[in-house]
Structure 1
Amino acid sequence: MLDLVETYWPHILFTISVVAGTAAAIHAAMTKEEVRSAVGWVGIIVLSPIVGAALYLIAGINRIRRTAISDRRALLVQGQIRADFASYDATNELVAREFGQRFRAMKILGDRVTHRHLTTGNTIVALDTGDEAYGAMLKAIGEAKRSVILETYIFDRDRIGVRFADALIAAVKRGIEVRVLIDAVGARYSVPSILGMLRDGGVTVDVFNGNVIMGLRLPYANLRTHRKILVVDGRVVFTGGMNIREGFSSEFSGDKCSFDTHFKVTGPVVADLFAIAAADWKFATGETLEGKGWTLEPPHTEPGAPVIVRAVSSGPDRSVETNHKMLMGVFSVARSSIRIVSPYFLPDRELITALVTAARRGVTVDIVVPTANNLVLVDRAMTAQFDQMLKNYCRIWRASGPFNHSKLMAVDGCWAYVGSSNLDPRSLRLNFEVDLEVFDRQFAEALERRIDLAISSATEVTLEGLRARPFLVRLIERVLWLGSPYL
């Protein structure tokens, strides 16, 4: 057998390359919905069949097939509890009356692409700093009576992470049902990871998409949960952009503290946020969260009352590009203003076209990005795109001060979009994300004031300033921009 291999190894290698390359190219052509993505992958595979097929296996297969819990209400007992939640569903007529026909169209779009209800009777409170958010989250864990589920991208084993671990371990000792899900990549930001400490303390913990290096999930190594969801007693949720790490706490990081924005949410939307976290937990572990500890509290507000909120989950499964579709929709209906804060601003051509078209219609488009960025390569790549926006009536601002990781959007002073999604290819197509669509003037106007405050001390980016930089710098940025889908 060895003699046969030694004699015919070129033929064997050629056969393997043809079979692997053909299979990978056919898969790319048949499954990719964007022609540029399909052409790019087929080109890589044809030029280098074995290496290209291997790269495609690792980074090109974006869809995870899984059974999702689409609506938490389906898991509730029949009768009054289900009726209580259904009575909070926002109607087309309510949205049209309060926000106009164009936002009625946004409501219908959300109904069709998210398959989750737009609900009334919610509350949403912004937590402006890591210290404020971490304090509120730890307090909620400490007061938990029945259950805690936490899903996050990064959970560092630093002083803040240990504080959370101690609170979760203490909850387990009080008899509380606790589940913790950390992304397999994010769990490795600390060495050693927080996993061992949690397990030793009795916390049921797992990683999302584990064994991404050597295991059988290798085709999905590029797919991560970027969601941040903490649900306590089926009653209150904390969600937004904030990971668990001391770099966002001024208590430990002082003047070098980075900023982010998190949100405390109550009301019927809690049911859908729980459903998202529970589905991810089931995918990772096979366990369905049911029983008395995981029941939801019926809302205590009046149906039809503010705030109107929808949970928007997106990711490389059946909800692929949901956040992208929502953004395309709202950019199309905007009339007066689009205000965006994002640490990583790398929209694709479709989103850029939607934004510049809005600006050409007379909509004021302001985009705020940090001057200090924690990902230098991403910052360079996104700078390479700025000229496409600036020459088409959009304005871009470099915010002063420490790095700001917030993801905030307000449109026309009445619609807002906040959560974990960045405006970059990874968040829009590869990561599992969760955001909140909010119809509420008071909330949207508060976001606009926050953005105005950032702009007041920011430096405006200009075409002249971009073009005045050295050619080599601009060339490097364009080269990095070519690889932006994988940064």
Structure 2
Amino acid sequence: MNHHYTVLDILLVLARYALALAVTIHVLRTKRDTAASTGWIGIAWLMPLTGAALYVMFGVNRVRRLARKLIGSHQWDGRGALVQHREQVDGQFAPLARMLGRLTERPLLGGNVIQCLHDGDNTYPVMLAAIDNARQSVLLCSYIFRADEVGNRFIEALANAQARGVRVHVLVDGIGSGYFHSGVASALRRRNIACHRFMHSLWPWRMPFINLRNHRKILVVDGRVGFMGGLNIGEENMLRLRTKVPVADTHFRIEGPIVHQLTEAFARDWSFTCQEELDGEIYFPQLDSVGDIPMRIVTSGPDNDLEKIEFAMLQGVALARRSVRLMTPYFLPDERLTSELCLAALRGVEIDIIVPGSSNHRLIDYARDANLAPFLDAGCRIWMAQPPFNHAKLLVVDEDWSFVGSSNIDVRSLRLNFEINMEVYDKDLARELIAFIDRHRHGRLTHHTLDSQSGMVKLRNAGVRLFMPYL
């Protein structure tokens, strides 16, 4: 049988091999995860054209490259003024404090106060009052910012602040606050308020960014008062409104030198999004001590901050001697965090994990249920909180160290999302959070609960679990 190959045929074959080889070289040079590396290389050689296209879209971390370029050339004011507030921790958590200092390149800062706020009913009035009292600047970042009754109150407060001469900057996520249309972004721009959508694009060649989301919640007023935590802006967070799916949450009001680090986190995101620097006294004023609590901001994302929040959790759990209390809306930890929690339980640490009996994402509940048996085997106690769905993200170790913020315990939050957490060395806050967490220890999950599930339910849950990184 005769085969006649044209020059075009030969060129196509060479192109296929060249693409597969190019993907292989790039994977070997840039990827650390061996399973992901093997998968990408296999797809590239089995389907060179399709595999190369998929890798260019979803496998290349352009975010880290852009972050290095931007952050390397930008400086933010006020760093030197905070030297006097640096703190050191002695005793059990000294290794954690040293590790996070090196990892984040942010000092542990003393002289702070913190107030714990629950739900939009109690938190929104405090946030709105802070905006109403702004005199120089307002920085607001929210994953979800709805243009509903609650969102409109914030829009009006921001517009009024700008009318007083306050500089207002708003950053919303390109997915969470509306992908095809963002009502809040349109409303703010109609009022000439600077508002940008984080990594948003409808162009096909930028579609990979659809999987990278800014999940941070930040409000800084005049560079002196800050808010952070898990609370988005929307009617569902107002429990008194009795919406269809009400969402309880926890947020924190902070004052003191730590606000500088919160401002810097926003400034980096703002620069990353629109290449505009926020510098000067109106954003980074001289901050004096107002209390005695040591704190530090820890950010993570698929850029230079990759996995830093997870590393903080791993080290905190590793140092636990008596107890770990963890409350999260979505519990899909990777193998590292699973192993650390289970090892802590096996050495006698009391591990209490509080998750919603039913969250607002059913698929995540399915995957979670398929992932719980190892924790029960190790002796962890898992509790199913009753409605309303609680969106709080809280970790307390040994009634001494608290770790709070926007990050869920799942692969998306710990690897893909841009998140912000805060470590706090304060026994009073730890006790307050422990009391709150313990009030949500309702139905305890047992082996019997999992064993009583039907074979089809177990199969469904195990199947959904395969998609953990994308849930």
What interval of TM-score do these two structures reach, taking the shorter chain for normalisation? over 0.9
What residue in structure 2 maps to residue 290 of structure 1?
279
Within 2, Cα distance between the matches of 1:263 and 1:27?
42
Q: Cα offset for 1:141?
A: 0.8
* CA separation of 1:71 and 1:130: change in aligned 2, threshold 3 A: farther
What residue in structure 1 maps to residue 3 of structure 2?
none
* CA separation of 1:156 and 1:25: change in aligned 2, threshold 3 A: farther
Alignment of 1:147 with 2:137, yes or no, is yes
Give the AA of the match of 1:477.
Answer: N
- Indicate conservation of the 8 Å contact 1:71/1:116, yes or no: no
Alignment of 1:331 with 2:317, yes or no, is yes
Q: Which moved more, 1:243-252 or 1:386-395?
A: 243-252
What residue in structure 2 maps to residue 480 of structure 1?
464
What residue in structure 2 maps to residue 44 of structure 1?
43
What residue in structure 2 maps to residue 229 of structure 1?
218
Within 2, Cα distance between the matches of 1:73 and 1:11?
52
- Once the two structures are superposed, residues 37-57 of structure 1 have per-residue CA deviations (whole angstroms, 9 ceiling, x without a partner) of 222332333333333333333
What residue in structure 2 maps to residue 178 of structure 1?
168
SS in 2 for 1:339: strand
Q: Cα offset for 1:186?
A: 1.6
Unpaired segments ≥5 residues, structure 2: 1-5
Within 1, Cα distance between the matches of 2:70 and 2:377?
43
Within 2, Cα distance between the matches of 1:231 and 1:401?
31
1:18-417 matched pairs, under 5 angstroms: 18-62=17-61, 63-65=63-65, 66=67, 67=69, 75-76=77-78, 82-83=80-81, 85-91=82-88, 95-96=89-90, 100=91, 102-188=92-178, 191-211=181-201, 213-214=202-203, 217-253=206-242, 256-301=245-290, 306-417=292-403
- Indicate conservation of the 8 Å contact 1:341/1:407, yes or no: yes
* CA separation of 1:15 and 1:194: change in aligned 2, threshold 3 A: farther
Give the AA of the match of 1:152.
Answer: S
Within 2, Cα distance between the matches of 1:183 and 1:434?
14
Q: Cα offset for 1:135?
A: 1.2
Give the AA of the match of 1:26.
Answer: I
Q: Cα offset for 1:296?
A: 1.8
- Indicate conservation of the 8 Å contact 1:157/1:190, yes or no: no
Give the AA of the match of 1:86.
Answer: V
What residue in structure 1 maps to residue 449 of structure 2?
465
Q: Which moved more, 1:67-76 or 1:10-19?
A: 67-76
Give the AA of the match of 1:197.
Answer: A
Give the AA of the match of 2:123.
Answer: A
Within 2, Cα distance between the matches of 1:254 and 1:210?
29
- Indicate conservation of the 8 Å contact 1:234/1:270, yes or no: yes
Within 2, Cα distance between the matches of 1:71 and 1:181?
21
- Indicate conservation of the 8 Å contact 1:58/1:221, yes or no: no
Alignment of 1:437 with 2:423, yes or no, is yes
- Indicate conservation of the 8 Å contact 2:239/2:248, yes or no: no
SS in 1 for 2:109: coil
SS in 2 for 1:148: strand
- Indicate conservation of the 8 Å contact 1:59/1:221, yes or no: no
* CA separation of 1:8 and 1:249: change in aligned 2, threshold 3 A: farther
Within 2, Cα distance between the matches of 1:71 and 1:410?
37
Give the AA of the match of 1:144.
Answer: A
- Indicate conservation of the 8 Å contact 2:235/2:241, yes or no: yes
Q: Which moved more, 1:160-169 or 1:213-222?
A: 213-222
Q: Cα offset for 1:61?
A: 2.8
RMSD: 2.2
* CA separation of 1:265 and 1:28: change in aligned 2, threshold 3 A: same
- Indicate conservation of the 8 Å contact 1:72/1:272, yes or no: no
SS in 1 for 2:378: coil
- Indicate conservation of the 8 Å contact 1:141/1:171, yes or no: yes
Give the AA of the match of 2:385.
Answer: A
Give the AA of the match of 1:123.
Answer: V
SS in 2 for 1:234: coil
With the length of structure 1 as denominator, give the TM-score of the two structures.
0.90
With the length of structure 2 as denominator, give the TM-score of the two structures.
0.93
Give the AA of the match of 1:174.
Answer: R
Within 1, Cα distance between the matches of 2:358 and 2:96?
34
Unpaired segments ≥5 residues, structure 1: 1-6
* CA separation of 1:371 and 1:22: change in aligned 2, threshold 3 A: same
- Indicate conservation of the 8 Å contact 1:21/1:45, yes or no: yes
Give the AA of the match of 2:361.
Answer: L
- Once the two structures are superposed, residues 343-395 of structure 1 have per-residue CA deviations (whole angstroms, 9 ceiling, x without a partner) of 11111111111111100100001111101211111111111110011111111
What residue in structure 2 maps to residue 453 of structure 1?
439
SS in 2 for 1:293: coil
* CA separation of 1:155 and 1:21: change in aligned 2, threshold 3 A: farther
What residue in structure 2 maps to residue 3 of structure 1?
none
% of aligned pairs identical? 39
Q: Cα offset for 1:453?
A: 0.7
Within 2, Cα distance between the matches of 1:441 and 1:292?
33
Within 2, Cα distance between the matches of 1:390 and 1:8?
63
Q: Cα offset for 1:450?
A: 0.8
